Structure 1
Amino acid sequence: MLLPVALLCLALTAPALGVPVAVERPQKPRQKLLLVSFDGFRWDYDRDVDTPHLDAMAKDGVKAQYVTPPYLTITSPSHFTLLTGLYIENHGVIHNMWFNTTSMEKKAYYPTQFQNDWWDNGSLPIWITAQRQGLKAGSLHFPGTAASYQGEVAMVREVEPRFYNYGNETYWQRNIDTVMGWFGDQDLDFVSLYFGEPDGVGHKFGPDTPQRRAMVRQVDRAVGYMRAAAERRGLSGHLNVVITADHGMSALFRASEIKQIVLSKIPGFSFKDLSFHLVDYGPSGMLLPKPGMLDKVYGALKGAHPHLHVYKREEMPARMRFSNNGRILPIVLWADAGYLINGYLPVQTNKGEHGFDNHNMDMKPFFRAVGPAFRRNLEVGPFETVNIYPLMCHILGIRPEVNDGHLNATKHMLVSASEDKPGGMSTVKMAFTGLAAVVGLLAVVFIVRVSVHVHKRRNEDRVSNSSTHSDGFDEETAKSTSF
């Protein structure tokens, strides 16, 4: 009798113990993630343009006030920070250009994309990490896509041709359709997608122009097309989309308005004292003095122009995290916003530029996120883009590589800030479940003990009654047989 009672009690308390008795719940689809970069989209570009699709995305998801990129605020280094969660000095992709200080060679942005040793120097992008942990990953046009890492590449990838029109809206839609096909037909878990605008128009025309505003409207249309494409593919219920950028853009002063920075005109400085240099590429530069000439070059440049900052590599401000890497040349230069660093003569024609101090507000990109992992209609404060990597790993449920980011900087954006992973059980739910389990277990113990006690008492009564009847029979028998 005891065993059936105990089993009945256990069955009755099973829901409290969290044990499914009969019906198993269907498993939710694995969450996917799309990382999108619109190159050069400054944090405030949606303020002077009507952007209904970006606004809808913010209402349906999360919008940050702005995000802070790493220094140096240029394309390849900043994008590799998104992919690795490392500051530039730690991942080693320190410039858009591959260079060799011995042979004096330099490669422009596009051929540098295929220079494996420039990208593959100890850090793994999220594509490789995800694939090593059983997921499927892809990348379309994202900086770093063309390279291999420890012999591995993104399993599905597309690299743009050399002379590519980054502003063609038809191409944008084709690329979006391609990526949604990868998620739907090939069941990819993670994809990174890159658009080269509004960086191009920001450089050519400047950030405060009708051309830039027109490109922001095109970006907004692309966001609407992207969300509609996900809906058509049936992906919306398990696809998370993170949209950000590598840097912002700052308007340049006209030469007639300022004293230009021209290194060759600085007294005491000579290019003959250098073995190698990277200047004439915007507001930042690096110099390699000849042996024994470091202090001479540094002394000539330091304080030579009120808007030129000059540092020995090891003396760079710690907040910029741009010193602890052998690829960084011994002298680092950068200009204040609006200024350019020129070598022999002013040769740059851009009306907008980036590469300035990452604390400059013009260098801050935007950030949007939407999907089942994210809360709705939430605006958050600023954070560093280095923190986007651990957020992505968390959503994908993969172990991140060693990185400089912190999940705590972004975790409040998620549906449950206390989840171990999306779709998991929150701390509150686990507490209630644990409490129910304890109560259920105590109930089982109590009922079993009561059952044992009752069973024992019944046995004692039965034995007692049996003894009474037995003694009475013997006495009566004795009486009847005695004469």
Structure 2
Amino acid sequence: MGMMYNHLRTLFAALSILALSACAGTSRPVAEVAAEARAPVTILISIDGLRPDYLDRGVSPNINALAASGVKASMRPSFPSLTFPNHHSLVTGLRPDRHGIVDNTMIDARRPDVRFTLGDPRQSLDPFWWDEAEPIWVTAEKAGIRTGTMFWPGSEVAIHGARPQDWLRYDKAVSGTQRINTVLDWMRRPAAIRPRFVTLYFDTVDTVGHELGPDAPETTAAFAEVDRLIGELISGLKVIGQSANILLVSDHGMGATADDRVIRIDRMIAPDVGMIVTEGPLSGVNALPGKDAEVAATLLAPHEHMQCWRKSALPAHFAYGKNPRVPEFLCLAARGWAIQARDREHILKGMHGYDPAEPDMAAVFIAAGPAIASGAALPVFDNVDVYPLLARLVGIAPVSNVDGRAETLNPLLRAAN
């Protein structure tokens, strides 16, 4: 009997220890979350090629709910209304003419034998092209604020010798779910190694909009999928108790184009007369030595569906043309038209790069979170004005002498901020 009692007592003690261990195992994360005062994180989300009117298509309940809880406005891109220049304007507060990423394709006289293009990592990842401005993650890291970029043009480059502490090499094959999960995994970290400023980038709306056009049902479906992912992000943040000030933006809109609305600039400028640097809605041309007058006579004459200027004579509202990387002559297509410099099987059904004042080029701005006052009405504003607001939310002093004006978006901030 005594032996049986000892066995039962030992068994009961063991079961009690297991039960206590199990309880401790399940309650510890909850206790840790409750004990930790999580400071809000700032998340900058870009949906490439998202036009404001896409939000009226009835497929974006999560993004529309985010807007309803904060502020929504149309935003004017910087000229040219292209991806790399505008993403860099958003995070530097400078227009492309000042931050140096003047186009998706560039030539610099200091490197006459190379060309910056999105598809050439030897150039697009070279700090030489990016060091004319300091993006916000570099400023934050200098101030001791940890940052993480789940894709953003330039974030893979050691700009001024620095990168975000968490960054990934851009890969279109990384799914939207993987991108969301990466950000949520960062948020699950201990406070000491958790980024306080994060960027997140989605390319599919732009990709499908180019290929099939802004009004294609597939473009709407691509936006619906991104909206679903934004919903997953918001739900995931709520589960782990992480509050966030979210700025959801786009870099530009998208305009419809067609195969029969093409201007062949290569048939106007021969290879022994000028170098065609860029094509699309905006085309840049550099005259070869001794050929300036010939290029000027050809391009500066009146053209149907296209207007050309010397860069020194561009309309002032473009705020463009002083940077030496800007080609000597610039031609801008009329809405719906494209300037082409080679034979193509078909022209893209959607393009951007037009005058930022065109309605189809408008970008999206949504802000929501504990630091953002809801319901403020905003007129259309320039995208460089996002940078001072970002700096305020991240908790850093913005770089001086930027183009962005703090007073534009300061009314969005709650009084305590």
State TM-score, norm by structure 2. Answer: 0.85
**Separation in 1, partners of 2:348, 2:393:** 39
Q: Are 1:90 and 2:101 counterparts?
A: no
Give the CA RMSD over aligned residues.
2.3
Q: How big is the shift at 1:59?
A: 1.7
Tell me which of 252, 255, 260 is aligned to 2:257. 252
* Alpha-carbon distance in structure 2 between the residues aligned to 1:54 and 1:374: 16
Shift of 1:134: 2.1
* Counterpart in the other structure of 1:4: none
Residues 183 and 189, structure 1, Cα contact 8 Å, conserved in 2: no
1:155 and 2:161 aligned:
no
1:414 shift after superposition: 1.4
- Structure-2 residue corresponding to 1:233: 240
Q: Supply the distance in 2 between the matched residues of 1:191 and 1:299 (Cα, whole angstroms).
A: 49
**Cα distance change of structure 1 residues 344 and 197 upon mapping to structure 2, 3 Å threshold:** closer
The offset of 1:241, in angstroms, is 0.6
Tell me, which stretches of 5 or more residues in structure 1 are unaligned?
A: 1-26, 423-483
Label 1:93 to 1:314 Cα distance change in 2 as closer, same or farther (>3 A).
same
Question: What secondary structure does 1:261 align onto?
Answer: strand
Counting only pairs closer than 5 Å after superposition, residues 391-406 of structure 1 correspond to structure 2 as 391-402=389-400, 403-406=402-405
Alpha-carbon distance between aligned partners in 2 of 1:328 and 1:244, rounded to the nearest angstrom = 26
Distance of 1:376 and 1:193 partners within structure 2? 23
Indicate how the Cα distance of structure 1 residues 181 and 71 shifts in structure 2: closer, same or farther if over 3 A, else same.
farther
1:365 to 1:264, Cα distance in 2 relative to 1, 3 A: same
Counterpart amino acid of residue 333 in structure 2: A
Which residue of structure 1 lines up, in the alignment, with residue 276 of structure 2?
Answer: 277
Tell me how far apart the structure 2 counterparts of residues 113 and 300 of structure 1 sit (CA, whole Å).
32
Residue 391 of structure 1 aligns to a residue whose secondary structure is: helix
* Corresponding residue for residue 407 of structure 1: 406
Conserved in 1, the CA contact under 8 Å of 2:258 and 2:348? no
Mapped to 2, the partners of 1:314 and 1:347 lie a distance apart of 35
Kindly state the Cα deviation for residue 369 of structure 1 after the two structures are TM-superposed: 1.0
Deviation at 1:113, TM superposition (A): 3.3
Q: 2:158 is matched by which residue type in structure 1?
A: S
Alpha-carbon distance in structure 2 between the residues aligned to 1:183 and 1:46: 36
Of 187, 191, 195, the residue aligned with 2:194 is 187
Partner Cα separation in structure 1 for residue 339 and residue 182 of structure 2: 36
Aligned to 1:307: 305
Alignment of 1:72-471 (within 5 A): 72-99=80-107, 103-110=112-119, 111=121, 112-121=123-132, 123-161=133-171, 164-165=172-173, 168-181=175-188, 186-236=193-243, 239-255=244-260, 258=261, 260-266=262-268, 269-274=269-274, 276-280=275-279, 282-345=280-343, 349-402=347-400, 403-416=402-415, 422=417
Give the AA of the match of 2:85.
P
Unaligned runs of 5+ in 2: 1-35
* CA shift for structure 1 position 413: 1.2
CA distance in 2, matches of 1:30, 1:344: 53
Q: Using a 3 Å threshold, how does the CA distance of structure 1 residues 315 and 414 change in structure 2: closer, same or farther?
A: same
Partners of 1:98 and 1:263 in 2: CA distance: 18
Q: How far did residue 170 of structure 1 move?
A: 3.3
* Displacement after TM superposition at 1:347 (Å): 5.5
Query: Matched residues in 2 for 1:57 and 1:183: separation?
Result: 27
Q: 1:340 to 1:184 in 2, by over 3 A?
A: farther
Identity of aligned residues (%): 28
Q: Is the 8 A contact 1:49 1:213 kept in 2?
A: no
Asked whether the equivalents of residues 59 and 378 of structure 1 are also in contact (C-alpha less than 8 Å), the reply is no
Per the alignment, do residues 369 and 184 of structure 1 end up closer, same or farther by CA in structure 2, a change over 3 Å counting? farther
Match of 2:53 in 1: 44
* Alignment partners' CA distance in 2, 1:150 and 1:224: 35
CA contact 1:38–1:196 (8 Å) conserved in 2: yes
Mapped to 1, the partners of 2:113 and 2:276 lie a distance apart of 9
